[in-house]
Structure 1
Amino acid sequence: MLTAIIVNAVVIFTMYFPQYKDNKWLWWIDCAFIIFFLVEMLVKLAVLKPKAYFSSNWNRFDCLIVLGSLPVLFLEHNESMHGTQLIVLLRLFRLIRLVRFLRFIPNIEQVMTGLGRALKASVFVLGALVFLNFMLAMITCNFYADIAPEYFGNPLVSIYSIFQLFTLEGWNEIPAAIAKRVDPDTGLPFLSDSAIGITRFYFAIVVVLGGIFGMSLANAVFVDEMTMDNNRELEKKVDDLTEEIRSLRDMLQKGEDLG
């Protein structure tokens, strides 16, 4: 099964090269894989029975992907449908089949459980970061929209630029670009030397708050929750070892008392 998924992934990958986009052979091979996965699903349904089959999240996912891929067999090379948005969506949906690779990652269930737990634990930190991003974006948009419209021309662009600063991307280029801006009417700089200093200080605060403290905190919480299973396992081993040592000590103490 893993081999089939890998080969199918290679075929889909190749089909996205312009010179192979309309290659008939690749299309037929891809259709063969769709039929293969359909047969696999039907066999599993027959062997496991629907109740047992759909009790597995992976089986439900496979069923969704297979059923979503079936229209490709009938529509993709229909001249009236060629190039339509529906075909584009079907092609994109077909790529989701590559997620099947996750099934073969060792301990994937444990990883997914840890991921879900980490997301839940991080929701408040991420919410605080979103609020901080929004607040700083509005402040920055208010003061620098006319000076650097490509970065802070409207709230949405400003939110994206502040997020860039949070990720430490462009943390130096953005304030430097603002400092160099000149008024096209007068040819004079928009900002005085003192205003440039305040601007650099302001963006330094943005980077420290969001990029260093905020993102680092979110990352720390996320990683801590992801590795909690390992920590619990180690704690259990330590507790078991402590209990064994305590038992041995009690046995030695009893032996000394009897002696």
Structure 2
Amino acid sequence: MHRYPPRHAATPIHRTVRTLATAATALLLLIIGTVSASASPSVPRGAKPTIVLVHGAFADSSGWNADVAALQRLGYPVVAAPNPLRGLTRDADYVRSVLQTITGPIVLVGHSYGGAVITNAARSVSNVKALVYVGAFVPARGESIATVLDPTVYPGSLLGPDTVALRPFPDPAVAGGVDYDLTIKPAAFRSVFAGDVPAASAALMAVTQRPLSLTANTEPSGEPAWQTIPSWDLITLDDHAIAPAGQRFMAQRAHAHIRTVRSSHAVMISHPDAVVRIIVEAAQQS
């Protein structure tokens, strides 16, 4: 007579199957945990915020080189976001897409027209903890960089028909299919933009400047992020692109923490120490 094992007894085969099943479950849980961790990376407690730098018109991200190096030496992660300079809404949408790839707190910095861009790009991005304006436009809703400052009230800017050149280019995204590039005439570049930068460096900047479209110059700003996000503003007192008195008006209206420096418009190049100082202040206090 054959003796069968009890119904619930574990035979060697049963034990092997059970072991394999347990191992498979553990492996599956490990994979799920790894995928979840990759999808939602944790931010170490006390980690420094990421500094995102947005350049303005007639410039590119290389203007931040000295500032990036100094911030990295202090242990800050830094992103220099390229600004398309094609239209305020388009530019803000692009910068916002960069912000949305960053985990953890962000200090968002804008120079010149880049100030108008960060004013719109930070809207609805919850991890932007501070805005820093550097010789920048700080528009309210409905204002463009062409309309925010009345030159009869805030004189001092040298930007105008004598110093700015216009060049048409096709753009199907604008009415009529044609937009215009604005550049500073090379002979005027140093006096308008970079008065305290060595002449040879300013001459190179004039050649490599990136144009601002007329659309970007005239497009109205949306609801400003500075209404809900703390802001800092470094006013450039020797600026001949954006009148210093106009900068102060915009900064005060935004209830920004105001600092000043005796600098031309190219402050991130001529006075990177002042720029880094206000960024660190915003990072530590936000």
TM-score (norm 1): 0.22
Higher strand share: 2
The one of the two structures with greater contact order (alpha-carbon pairs below 8 A, sep at least 6) is: 2
TM-score (norm 2): 0.20
Decide which structure has the larger Cα Rg and report it: 1
Higher helix share: 1
